[in-house]
Structure 1
Amino acid sequence: MDSIRSLQTTEAIQRISDSVFVGLSHIVGTSQLVAMRRDMMDISDVVDNQVKTSDEQSGMVSGSIREGLRLKGSDIDVMYWPHNHRVIWELSQSQYYNTHRQTLILCDCSESPPGFTLIYLLSPSMVRDIQRACVRMNNKYYVSSSKYTQIFISESSLPYNPTPHGPCVSGTYRTTEYDSAYCFASDFWPPSAFQWIDRCLSWPQPHVVDDIVKNGCHFVAIGHKLGNHEDHEWRISFSKAEQKLVYAMNHCQFLTYGLLKLILTEIINNGVGDDDKLLCSYHMKTAVFWVIQQNAIPHWCPQNLLGGFWVCFKLILKWVFEAVCPNFFIPGNNMFLSKIHGVKQHQLFERLSELYKKGLAFLLHSPSIRSYIIDVLYNPRNFICTDDHTLISEDEFDRNLFNEILSQYAIPGKLDIQICIRYLHTIEQMISSPLLTQYQVIMLQNMTSRSLMNTAFIFHMETCTPDNKLSYRADKMSSHMLKLAASFGYITDMLYMAMYYYKTLRYVVALSIIEMIKFKLAQPYVMYKYIDAEMYTEAVGGQSWSTKMRQVVLYHARLDKGIHYISELIPEQQSSLQNNQDILFIPPFILLYMLEILCYRHVDTMRAQTALDDLQTLVHYDQEQIIDLDFRDISWQILGICQQVTGNLQAALYSYQQSLRQEPFNKIQAATEMRIQKVYQGIN
């Protein structure tokens, strides 16, 4: 009890704030990690959108992932909008567009609540689906938000089964939840948000305000529940502006936002049914925006983190009591309207009031930060260092950086030579820009490596011809691109060279590359599932990320849809693709052994059997040291393929059956069942 009371003293609160700051830096990320994540997201979006043609949809990742948060269970929010359609607020703005190339849409806010609007076409849309989403009112063709969403769900090519979720379509791709919003973009700032510009006296800085205003806004497909045209209205979205506001926070403010999200998940909404989760992370973010702008906290620093959190929490409590949550850009848009009222409002207020009465002690109910508070209570004299640069080691930061690179590079929906060339051309134009950060340079380097590998395999597929001279030239080009990609890519990227040489029947060359890879993998400092921090620092500490990427970084191999790497894995790629999985993931050691077995079958059968024995031992006895649980399906499958091609049908049958028993991460069951049938035919 005494320790709980000590939470109320100023000195204790400051020390606990320091400790929670350190804890949140580990959970949410240090300022360096957050800056790196944002830079990666930004450059990925820029490249992706520049590669797209004018008739394709533009897109951007939004929400907390884009803002730099990486909290467990966070979903990914993505916004898509037609590049050749633009929304304007008044007819005079049409002068800035070529109406022969772009379709203009005009807002009509006359009958909509604040923050919402109707939109209608000024000329027929060039996109059939948009025309289909129109309803005729007052001799104008209004784009109906509900129809628009229905059409995109029914004709979606997203790699998951989407369902409506507010203004988005939601679904789960592998283990990640996605919210995709199909919207429209405007290059102009909404007139109803002009007063926000005048309100920005102290925060954000004028250059941030100017940047936000010149980037306009979006319109997401959902109407106001109490409006006259709920099925047809669109909500004005400030996602891009909010992203820039979060970027404008200092790190203590950002961690306060992260703490509010944690508290929402772990305490406020813990054990509450989905229908009763009235507060969401957007309300938390809005509270932080208001508190910062109103200067409610004079100094945001680690020692005052809990002070800032408490002011935000009290503001949310006030909003719930009044049933009014004013939108940060358009305060007249009450985001609690139609959602928090009556009995549910009273119950939520009572729940928050109980937490408020406990004071900051209620944070002890958070499993994520509880230990950081208890450490101070039991060791009140311990020194707490809040220096951001000391909170994460070099190897930890590097692992985060390379993980981020791996997760950011998006494969285009359709792969062909023209798309690959556009990627390479776009990257070439950007790579020399003095405005790039060090994180973006290494990201572009990885994009280049990946694009070269895609181009090499596609070029070989498309130029496969009886003309020996043409085939020779194409092979030289593909080989050169793969060597170039491997020269500055991950260790894993050398596997693509080995696949190519196996595919083109140069088994000895492929085996020489395999031996080089095996030598690299034998080094104790390789970064894969686990890392020896001491050996890593000794081997590559202080060196460039480019050097580290080539020498020590190992990741799972990715076989992209539309590219046939080796014939032995085509059924697995096709099965995965039929289930809307556009990438086949394979652990590097598994693919390495597979290639070694396939090559040695043509060179040295004894060594092929030795490699097969090694693969079998790995798959049978690995305890998630090398093979992730997600990749057990493809690992057993590849073992079965290798056993089948070497004539051991009974062992192959067992391996395929084991593959079916694993978590179907790669969705290869159809290929497995087909292979089982062939094995039965061979046995009988």
Structure 2
Amino acid sequence: MSESVFVVLCEIVGTSHQVTIRREAEDIKEMVRRRVTPNNEIIRMMSGSMREGFRLEGSDVDWMYWPNNYRVIMDMSQSDYYNTANTTFILSDSTESPPGFTLLKLLTPPTNRDLRSACVRMNNRVYISSSIHRGLTCSTVFPNSTVHGPCGSGVLGGLLEYDIAFCFVCDFWPPSASSWIDRCHSWPASKVVGDIVRNGCHFVAIGHSLGPHEHEEWRISFSQAEYKLVYSMNHCQFLTYGLLKLFLKEVLNQQSEETNKLLCSYHMKTTIFWAIQQNMLPHWCPQNLLAGFWVCFKLLLRWVCEGICPNFFIPQNNLFLTKVHGSAQNRLFLQLHELYKKGLACLLQSSSIRSYIIDVLYNPRLSICTDKSIMRSEVDYDKELITELGCVNITGVDLCYITKAIHTIEQYVESPKSLYQVVTLWYLTAVIFQQTAFLLQNMYTNKRANKQMYIADKKSCHMLRLAAKFGCISDMLYIAMYYYKTLRYREALSAIEMTKVKLAQPYLMYNRHVDRERYTEAVGGQSWSTKIRQAVAWDIALGTRICYISELIPEQQSALQKGKARTLIIPVFVMLYFLEFLCYRHIDTTLSQAALDDLQVLVHHDRGLYISDIYRDISWEILGICQQMAGNLHAALYSYQQSLISESSFSDIQSATQGRIQDMVQLTPHQYQ
């Protein structure tokens, strides 16, 4: 009977193949990011459910950021492993803190302004205050973030919730978690344990509310260890974890307002970790999926009854200590117990799987297929990887950075990799070549060294052509941008026309939209390089520290000043008509107006097919720029206003928009009287 639920969870959570694609694509992106990040820059790591391989509807995205030149050590001898000249050391002092928490004592003078401001003195020693640090860094990435636990939280474009934690990294396993190593007899495998221990832990900015130094303490974070543990689950265990998350969201948190904040997804994760390690179910397989869920539910019920949820790595850290106690604990237990008395019928309250549970309960002998017979078409897996690749963001700021990135990719090319990691490396290579081409061009602009400029131009053109071979259809537009920037308008229009023809193909895969039959007929069974070059398009990503075309400099500067991740994303069809308009202005005004008309129709009438909601602000902005250049000031003003009032402000270009409106009104005030 569990097999039916197994199948539907594969539909909701993903097959093992889909989950592997998500994980391996993100892993290779992170490895490259870490290798190329300069010592004095910030490292970023995806964590939480997205990193674990979930893509559940309504899930948020979690990121951890930490300074690359800061290291937490557990004792002074560990500093010998580092270059002391360029490393700031922080000592973990947990002697007065509850299990799982610590004070961070600063050993060397900080170079970071926020860190200096977060320092407090206690007992003639300098410590980093978690509460001050959290307040100072909360809005570093996205300006309107609010403090939520150790994170800065908010919603991007009114659609995507995020949690961003600024933390510190430690390359050593904390002594307080040493018992976890001794506990790992059956799960996870010794190779996984070794990998987890070698990679240490993090410290996030939140103290224990019952500890003696709540505002100064930091919590030990095992986020990196946790996603590696989830990776080591078999797919049935992973789906059970997914079912627990759905049960929390759709059943447990719907019981009453009094208790809907007491349990969280971290409690579900902790439950299944303990259930697997303590071998509470001998065989985790599709036939036993509901049995696995029930084992975890009973364990959770027992914990709530006792008021103790032991942290998986440091069991002395009771995760229920500050919330699940007293009358709240009693109410929660009674609600869980009522669900327990219903047995598996309690899952009928889950909107996602209710209909399948009904089939199971009334047809216990129902014969259902298992994992190996769950059908996914080639298109499904292609869409999965294409979606993951569309999130690639390796933004170089100088040629040294770019050179390091290329060398890093060369090293990975020579090591064993899966197909998905190979394809990810192709795309990273294309991104790096594009950035290098424009960096070279910017270096030699307005210089009199004609020979050097000629050589740089040849190299740039060559790299952009290579990028188009590694990349997808839309990468041709970077060639068009380069030709436009270097005043070769006819060559740019030639690249635009080639791109336009390919984008018009009925089998195009873009923004997860695709005609499955035509796609399969056109490129089914062909190599990934062929599929990407012939049938795939992504939006255009412009690093905000690199000048691609001068008309967008204010928008790039606006996004950069807001502290946003250093990329401005533009829908590919918007960029196509934008470039066509710009080039034809120098050749044929009639065709320029035709391109503007096409852009106007697209921006005014598209309903999410070619312009995602989160990119409507930049799309209106570009339409306004074109209308202003064409002399239609009233239309331009309307477009700029639409950009400002877009439900999404994802691009963070408001200051550029306001500046354009102000300049337009000041230069031609009579037009608006």
| Superposed displacement of residue 369, structure 1 | 1.7
Note if contact 2:259-2:328 (Cα within 8 Å) is conserved in structure 1. no
Aligned position for 2:41 = 56
Aligned positions of 1:581-592 closer than 5 A: 581=564, 582-592=566-576
Aligned position for 2:578 = 594
Moved more, 590-599 or 656-665: 656-665
| Superposed displacement of residue 91, structure 1 | 4.2
Residues 1:376 and 1:648: Cα distance change in structure 2 (over 3 Å): same
2:51 aligns with one of 48, 66, 82? 66
2:489 aligns with one of 507, 530, 553? 507
Aligned position for 1:541 = 524
Amino acid at match of 1:347: R
Residues 1:567 and 1:318: Cα distance change in structure 2 (over 3 Å): same
| Superposed displacement of residue 397, structure 1 | 1.2
1:550 aligns with one of 533, 538, 550? 533
Note if contact 2:394-2:432 (Cα within 8 Å) is conserved in structure 1. no
Aligned positions of 1:384-533 closer than 5 A: 384-388=368-372, 390-407=374-391, 409-412=392-395, 415-434=397-416, 436-467=417-448, 468-529=450-511, 530-533=513-516
Amino acid at match of 1:343: S
Q: Secondary structure at the match of 2:251?
A: helix
Q: Secondary structure at the match of 1:594?
A: helix
Residues 1:610 and 1:119: Cα distance change in structure 2 (over 3 Å): closer
| Superposed displacement of residue 304, structure 1 | 1.0
Residues 1:640 and 1:145: Cα distance change in structure 2 (over 3 Å): closer
Gaps of 5+ in 2: none
| Superposed displacement of residue 401, structure 1 | 0.6
Residues 1:97 and 1:421: Cα distance change in structure 2 (over 3 Å): closer
* 1:203 and 2:170 are equivalent in the alignment: no
Aligned position for 2:224 = 240
* 1:219 and 2:242 are equivalent in the alignment: no
| CA–CA distance in structure 2, aligned partners of residues 305 and 294 of structure 1 | 17
Amino acid at match of 1:309: F
Amino acid at match of 2:455: R
| CA–CA distance in structure 2, aligned partners of residues 521 and 314 of structure 1 | 54
* 1:168 and 2:151 are equivalent in the alignment: yes
| Superposed displacement of residue 616, structure 1 | 3.2
Aligned position for 1:571 = 554
Note if contact 1:160-1:171 (Cα within 8 Å) is conserved in structure 2. no
Aligned position for 1:257 = 241
2:29 aligns with one of 44, 47, 70? 44
Aligned positions of 1:101-140 closer than 5 A: 101-125=86-110, 127=112, 129-140=114-125
2:287 aligns with one of 293, 303, 312? 303
| CA–CA distance in structure 2, aligned partners of residues 667 and 58 of structure 1 | 22
Aligned positions of 1:669-680 closer than 5 A: 669-676=654-661, 678=664
Q: Normalising by structure 2, report the TM-score.
A: 0.92
Aligned position for 1:3 = none
| CA–CA distance in structure 1, aligned partners of residues 242 and 526 of structure 2 | 32
| Superposed displacement of residue 546, structure 1 | 2.1
| CA–CA distance in structure 1, aligned partners of residues 86 and 563 of structure 2 | 33
Residues 1:22 and 1:546: Cα distance change in structure 2 (over 3 Å): same
Note if contact 2:409-2:429 (Cα within 8 Å) is conserved in structure 1. yes
Aligned position for 1:317 = 301
Q: Deviations over 1:309-357 (max 9, x none)?
A: 1110111111111110011122111111122111111111122122212
Q: Deviations over 1:223-243 (max 9, x none)?
A: 222222222222222222212
Q: Secondary structure at the match of 1:613?
A: helix
Q: Secondary structure at the match of 1:269?
A: helix
Aligned length: 664
Q: Secondary structure at the match of 1:169?
A: strand
| Superposed displacement of residue 77, structure 1 | 2.2
Note if contact 1:160-1:173 (Cα within 8 Å) is conserved in structure 2. no
Fraction of identical pairs, as percent: 60
* 1:358 and 2:336 are equivalent in the alignment: no
| CA–CA distance in structure 1, aligned partners of residues 75 and 561 of structure 2 | 46
Note if contact 1:145-1:221 (Cα within 8 Å) is conserved in structure 2. yes
Q: Secondary structure at the match of 1:107?
A: strand
Amino acid at match of 1:569: L
Amino acid at match of 1:469: K
Aligned position for 1:27 = 12
* 1:345 and 2:329 are equivalent in the alignment: yes
| CA–CA distance in structure 2, aligned partners of residues 411 and 270 of structure 1 | 41
Amino acid at match of 2:457: D
| Superposed displacement of residue 143, structure 1 | 3.1
| CA–CA distance in structure 2, aligned partners of residues 614 and 170 of structure 1 | 38
Q: Secondary structure at the match of 2:155?
A: strand
Q: Deviations over 1:129-175 (max 9, x none)?
A: 5454343334433333233333434xx63133333222223333444
2:618 aligns with one of 634, 640, 659? 634
Aligned position for 2:593 = 609
Note if contact 2:310-2:317 (Cα within 8 Å) is conserved in structure 1. yes
Aligned position for 1:5 = none
Residues 1:545 and 1:232: Cα distance change in structure 2 (over 3 Å): same
| Superposed displacement of residue 281, structure 1 | 0.7
Q: Secondary structure at the match of 1:46?
A: helix
Aligned position for 1:331 = 315
| Superposed displacement of residue 95, structure 1 | 4.5
| Superposed displacement of residue 259, structure 1 | 0.9
Q: Secondary structure at the match of 2:390?
A: helix
Amino acid at match of 1:450: V
Q: Secondary structure at the match of 2:537?
A: coil
| Superposed displacement of residue 305, structure 1 | 0.7
Q: Secondary structure at the match of 2:342?
A: helix
RMSD: 2.6
* 1:82 and 2:67 are equivalent in the alignment: yes
| CA–CA distance in structure 2, aligned partners of residues 233 and 441 of structure 1 | 42
Moved more, 420-429 or 340-349: 420-429
Residues 1:452 and 1:98: Cα distance change in structure 2 (over 3 Å): closer
Note if contact 2:309-2:318 (Cα within 8 Å) is conserved in structure 1. yes
Residues 1:132 and 1:647: Cα distance change in structure 2 (over 3 Å): closer
Q: Deviations over 1:476-528 (max 9, x none)?
A: 22212211111221111111111111222211111111111122122211101
Note if contact 1:489-1:549 (Cα within 8 Å) is conserved in structure 2. yes
Note if contact 2:131-2:205 (Cα within 8 Å) is conserved in structure 1. yes
